[in-house]
Amino acid sequence: MEYKKCALLLILTIFLLSISAAYAMDSGHAESKDEILADNPKTFTQLSLDINASANTFDIHSDYAFSSESDDSYVIIDKNNFTINGNNHVIDGNDKSRIFFISGGNITINDLLFINANFTQGGAIYSLGNITLNNVTFISNTANRGGSVYIDFGELNCFDCKFIDGNSSYGSAIYSSNSNTNIENSYFTSKYLDTRGSVYSRYGNLSIKDSIFTDISSNRLASVYALYGDLFIDNCLFTNITSKNAAAIFSQNCRVFVNNSRFSNLKSNISAAAMGLNEFKECEIENCTFVNLTSHNNAGAIFAEAEDENKSAAIKNSEFVDCSSGFGGAIVYLEGILSITDSKFVNNTAEYYGGAIYTSFVNLNIINSSLTGNRGENYTVLYFDNGKLFIVNSTLTDNKALNSSEPVYALYLNDAVAKIENSTIDNGEFNIYGNFVKSYESLNNALDEGSVSIDNQNYIYYVENTGVVLNLTNNLLISEEYPSRFDLREMDLDTPVKYQGMMGSCWVFSVIESLESALLRATGLEYDFSENNVQDLEIKYYPTGSTTSTEGGYELWSLNHALSGYGVVPENEDIYDELGKVSRYLESENRIHLQDAYFVMPNSTDYINNLKKGIFNFGAVTIDYKSAQNAPYFNVNTSAHYINESISASHQLQ
């Protein structure tokens, strides 16, 4: 018995030590250059000679550094089936050069440090073939794409590697294009501000196992950024990461599988503190933990949109604890099928709707799960809009309002078919509220049916408020005369350029910027209105929005919105979100109601003069055009567009 206890204690001790070592690995950033590089390193010219003189294997016995005096460029490796044993030596790009350009195939690099490399693509390594990295460390490498490694039309394998303080707009550590990438037992951190991921993968499969992402900041999206492929995450840790959106994982048009992983202390300044999943083909999240995550707009942990009613996602045996956002404290899921099984939602918070979960146009199954202690201004545990809801063998208890003294229900069912079976629902006096519910069935539940209000039919209406009273300092009669040449920029009437990001929202930006230009012309003041509020209230996930659009639209929708009682609100009241799609109607004292609009029809008899008159009198106009990126409509050298034929428009701008 004593032997068994000792053996058990030894096993536990070894296990705990191994976990501690893994999580503590390289918690700091890189040492200084002098602490890493040996005295009198050899040149890149010598490194190239040494590699070319080797047959199948090159053993490194000294450090190398780029020298402006003797080196012209990076080292080219055009060998096949070739191994470099670094023996823990260092190759230094001196912030002036890439290190390796690999045109050969099946290259293996072992036990080597790459530091201070700098190039446009692939700061340290650019590879056009298969490459394997074993126990390789990358420190302070820089590129526009792939701060340390750029792989194109090959396969990248990284085992026991470290990526520290990489700097790039696309993949501060790795950029993978048309390639499969496998990463195991590796470590990612950076003191530099990322834009699109530590690992960026497009048109290929990406697998990351037993790895850590920590102390990373991004001004846009994600530590792992995947497009058009399969994404596998297993036994990984994402912690202490801040991003604009989707701090840990962003994917688009991917199959996504995330298992046995932990997400903690993540913050997105706008939406989705852990994951943003766009137009996914399939999604499975199993045995994962999401703790202390926060975002401002949509989804404290996971924002997912299938954009296909038949696409499905499954969340199994996972926990969401202390997550918070504006809508959907833990999850916002839009259009598709979602099954939640054997999972827990504890102490999550939504500032507005859906303390734990917010769905729209979704068939949702909650099976053998518990949702307890969640909070929200309204609908403290679940906001369910348009779909089929099935809850079975589950517990929904102690879900309360944030600060309201008014009746606040735990579950909201709108335009729904709902069945609840063998479950415990106890959230005080108010449990379930239904609006235009198509059918509701309650079987064998621990539920006070007196706390259920199903047969409601609430129609949306708004009373127009006065809005802001404008001082029209340039309120002149329309002039029929104007100079033969004029430029709003030279008249100090140009407005700032805005960026719609990956969202299909040009139909909103074009109208809003035209309105801002008109007000600058009329009042002499520069306005900044919320494109986000207009778009989110005009698409299908808002009750009065389009019944078909999930993102795109027409400029007339935006114009109608501005002319209606909705009006437009300042940008700082609903900041632009290129990922999330849920907003609310704002009773803003700073609302502006548009009263009139000026149209110039392309087929009018005096089109050009009418266009000039509109710009001169009212400011910049909104136009439709065919957006092209290739000949014959687009000049790749000058970025000029020219289409002299009848063709459907695809883009709007101001």
Q: What are the tens digits of pLDDT across the range 404-436?
A: 767 789 999 999 999 999 999 999 888 999 999
Helix (H, G, I), strand (E, B) or coil at 63: coil
pLDDT of residue 26: 44
Express as a percent the part of the chain with pLDDT over 90. Answer: 64
Residue appearing with tokens 């029929």: 480
Amino acid at 257: F
Whether the Cβ atoms of residue 336 and residue 313 lie closer than 8 Å to each other:
yes
User: Quick one: average pLDDT of 36-59?
Assistant: 93
Contact assessment for residue 138 and residue 112, using Cβ atoms and an 8 Å cutoff? no
What is the C-alpha end-to-end distance of the chain, expressed in Å?
Answer: 80
Helix (H) or strand (E) holding 608: helix 607-618
Residue pLDDT, tens place only, 76-134: 999 999 999 999 999 999 999 999 999 999 999 999 999 999 999 999 999 999 999 99
Q: Which is more confidently placed, 565 or 45?
A: 45
pLDDT of residue 630: 72
pLDDT of residue 16: 31
CA 552 to chain centre: 18
Closest CA to 196 of 137, 131, 243: 243
Give the CA distances from residue 226 to residues 190, 435, 578, in Å, rounded to whole numbers and listed in that order: 19, 39, 16
Separation CA 298–CA 387 (nearest Å): 20
Question: What is the value of pTM for the model shown?
Answer: 0.91
Token pair for 103: 């045109």
Compute how many other C-beta atoms are within 10 angstroms of the C-beta atom of residue 9: 10
**CA 551/CA 548 separation, integer angstroms:** 9
Query: Any idea where the domains of the chain sit in the sequence?
Result: 40-204, 306-458, 506-641
**Amino acid code (one letter) for 531:** E
pLDDT at 441 over 70: yes
CA distance 213 to 161: 12
Cβ atoms of residues 82 and 104 within 8 Å? yes
> What is the CATH number that goes with domain 506-641?
3.90.70.10
By mean pLDDT, which of 237-241, 523-527, 531-535 is the weakest?
523-527
List beta partners, residue 131.
107, 156
Residue 379 or 131, more confident: 131
Q: What pLDDT score was predicted for residue 475?
A: 58
Beta-carbon count within 10 A of 288 CB: 24
Residue 599, pLDDT > 80, answer yes
Q: Which residue type does 275 have?
A: M
What dihedral do alpha carbons 343, 344, 345, 347 form, nearest 10°? -170
Share of the chain above pLDDT 70, in %: 92
Which amino acid is it at 23? Y
Average pLDDT, the chain: 89
CB 370 within 8 A of CB 344: yes
Per-residue model confidence (pLDDT) at position 462: 65
**pLDDT score, position 323:** 99
pLDDT band at residue 492 under the 50/70/90 scheme:
confident
217 and 195 in contact (C-beta within 8 Å)?
no
pLDDT higher for 549 or 378?
549
Q: Which residue has the higher pLDDT, 402 or 349?
A: 349
Name the CA radius of gyration of the chain, rounded. Answer: 29
Mean pLDDT value of segment 467-476: 72
CB-side neighbour CA atoms (13 Å) of 563: 11
pLDDT digits (tens, 9 = 90+) for 13-39: 333 333 333 443 444 455 555 567 878
Predicted pLDDT of residue 465? 66
Give the tokens for residue 256: 């996504």
C-alpha 206/C-alpha 187 separation (Å) is 16
Provide the token pair at 27. Answer: 């918690």
CB distance 404 to 379 below 8 Å: no
The number of residues in the chain equals: 654
The residue to which tokens 């999401």 are assigned: 290
Cα torsion 409, 410, 411, 414: sign: positive
Q: Is the peptide bond before 632 cis (omega within 30 degrees of 0)?
A: yes
pLDDT score of 370: 98
Strand spans (E) along 539-648: 623-625, 634-635, 640-641
Q: What is the pLDDT of residues 262-314, one digit of tens each?
A: 999 999 999 999 999 999 999 999 999 999 999 999 999 999 999 889 999 99
Kind plus residue range of the DSSP H or E element containing 189: strand 187-189
